[in-house]
Every structure is written in C-alpha cells, then in structure tokens.
A and B are shown apart, each in its own frame.
Chain A
Amino acid sequence: MKKRTNVFIEGPIHPSLITDTIQEQQTKTTIGAHDIFLGQVRADQIHGKTVQAIEYSAYTEMALQKFNDIREATFQKFDQLTNIHIYHSLGTVKTGEICLFVFVSSPRRKIAFQASEYVVEEIKAHVPVFGKEVFEDATHVWKVNT
C-alpha cells in the first residue's frame, strides 16, 4: 500500500509546494512522466457580481476516506502508476490562487495523462467539499460542481 498523504491545506496552495514535489521525484529514476493538474479559483461573474474568493469547508472524516479510496482505485485502474499526490485547500482561497494540486507519476506519459484526469474527476464527483463563493460586497452563493 502506498503511503497516505495529508491532503488538506489551510488556505491557498503555495506554488513552492509544486516545485518541492517535482524536486522530490528526482531520485525516483523509474519515472518517465509526471502530469500535474492545478485548480485555480476563477473570478466568475454571477448576477453582475464578481467572485473574490472561495471559502472551502469539508466533511473532513468522509473526505479523507474518499481521497484514500480514490488513490487506491487509481492505483488499481492504472497499475503502472508510480505516485499520486493530492492536495486540496480548506478555508479561504482568493481568485487567482491554487485550491487543488494533483500530481501523478508513471514510467510513460499515457498512463500519467489518464490517471490525472481520472483523479480530478473522481475528486469533483465524490469528495464532500463545499465552496462558498464570496463577492466583493461580502454576499455569497454556494458553488456546485458541474
């Protein structure tokens, strides 16, 4: 079993976490391809107002179990996969900042491309994370994944 990572990060994901994660892989020379997905908070226009930030909350226990289930299912589905790293923000993430970081590694590119998409879609569909889209006037709407 691959090690379980601590998925949730309070606030935005700092770009240095991405470079640090790349750096960590340089000793693992069976890897030939990494695929990285970054989710960034978008300044959506809703009813004439502009989103300033998303405040994320989660059913933490269930979410961590789901992240673990997704990791296991992904290793089962793509058995040549070497690594999966997943980080997701909780709390406030402003527009332009990173809220999701998925990093997968494999010996060859095709598995990495496919696994990355699979992990992101599974997270969006099955992990109980909730997002409050906050406008400049402090009003809000609740984000719903489509």
Chain B
Amino acid sequence: MERYDKHMTVKVLYFGMVSEATQKKEETLSIHTQCTTTEFDQLIKEKYTTLKQLPYNIAIDQQISVTDQVIPPNTDIALLPPFAGG
C-alpha cells in the first residue's frame, strides 16, 4: 500500500446545505495521492458525520465526478447539494 505514503493538498468547497453541515465554506485538506472520489467521500463523511444524511455530488475542478475517479493533485473539490436554480 505504498501509495498511501504520499500526500497532496486539495481545496475543498462546500455549498448550500453541505456548507451548513460542515459550518465551513472551504478548507484545505491533505489526502493521499491517488485518492479516489469514493475514498474521499468516505473520509469527508468521517470528518463531518452530519454529511451522512445529505444528498450531494462531488465535483472535481468544476466537473461532476464519477465513482472511483482518481483525484489529481492541486484540485478544487466541491461538494454540491441538489441544484435549486431558476
């Protein structure tokens, strides 16, 4: 499991009901390199247990991610609850 030895920083952005649950708009987190969106989701739900009840998608550099997508370094990760525009 050598890949877990190396870490990278990512900026994490929270919006709407997710921001309310984390009490933050954004923060910088250190995660292991090659971390996937699915692993990241588990990590963030452990950090903020209130997120377990909420619906959201994870966007990587402004694109909605897919399951098990590898997160590149120097990335903006956004937790996007359901949209309400219009």
Contacts and interface: CB of A to CB of B under 8 A. Distances in A.
Interface in A54-94: 54, 56-59, 61-63, 65, 88
Size bracket of the A interface: 20 to 34
Interface stretch (A25-33, A45-53, A104-112, A127-135): A127-135
A144 B84 CA distance: 5
Contact of A145 (B17, B62, B82): B82
Contact of B86 (A61, A124, A128): A124
Nearest to B61: A62
Q: Which of B78, B81, B84 has the most CB of A within 10 A?
A: B84
B21 to A, nearest CB: 11
Contacts of B81: 130, 142, 144
A129 B62 contact: no
B83 A126 contact: yes
B16 A142 contact: yes
B15 A123 contact: no
Contacts of B84: 54, 56, 129-131, 142-145
Contact of B85 (A61, A65, A100, A132): A100
Interface in B39-86: 59, 62, 78, 80-86
Range of interface residues on chain B? 10 to 19
A145 B78 contact: no
B50 to A, nearest CB: 14
A127 B16 contact: no
Contacts of B16: 57, 130-132, 142
B31 interface: no
B15 A142 contact: no
10 contacts: A54-B84, A57-B16, A62-B62, A123-B86, A124-B83, A124-B85, A127-B85, A129-B85, A131-B84, A142-B84
Interface of B: 13, 15-17, 59, 62, 78, 80-86
Interface of A: 39, 54, 56-59, 61-63, 65, 88, 99-100, 120, 123-132, 142-145
